[in-house]
Amino acid sequence: MTKDNMREMDKAIGGRIKELRVSMGLSRVQIAEKVSVTQQQFQKYECGLNRISAARLVAIAEALGESPAYFLDGLSAGVEAGLITGRMRDCIKVSRNFAKIKNPECRKAVAALVNSLAGEA
Domains of the chain, first to last = 3-87 (1.10.260.40)
State the Cα–Cα distance between residues 78 and 80, nearest whole angstrom: 5
State the Cα–Cα distance between residues 28 and 115, nearest whole angstrom: 26
Q: Going residue by residue through the chain (121 aa), what tens digit of pLDDT does each one get?
A: 788 888 888 988 998 999 889 888 899 999 999 999 999 999 999 999 999 999 999 999 999 999 998 888 877 654 444 445 666 667 777 887 888 899 999 999 999 998 899 886 5
The phi, psi pair for 52, rounded to 5°, reads -95, 125
Among 35, 76, 77, 66, which residue's Cα sits nearest to residue 52? Answer: 35
Among 83, 82, 16, which residue's Cα sits nearest to residue 52? Answer: 16
Helices (DSSP H) in 1-80: which residue ranges? 3-23, 28-34, 39-47, 54-63, 69-72
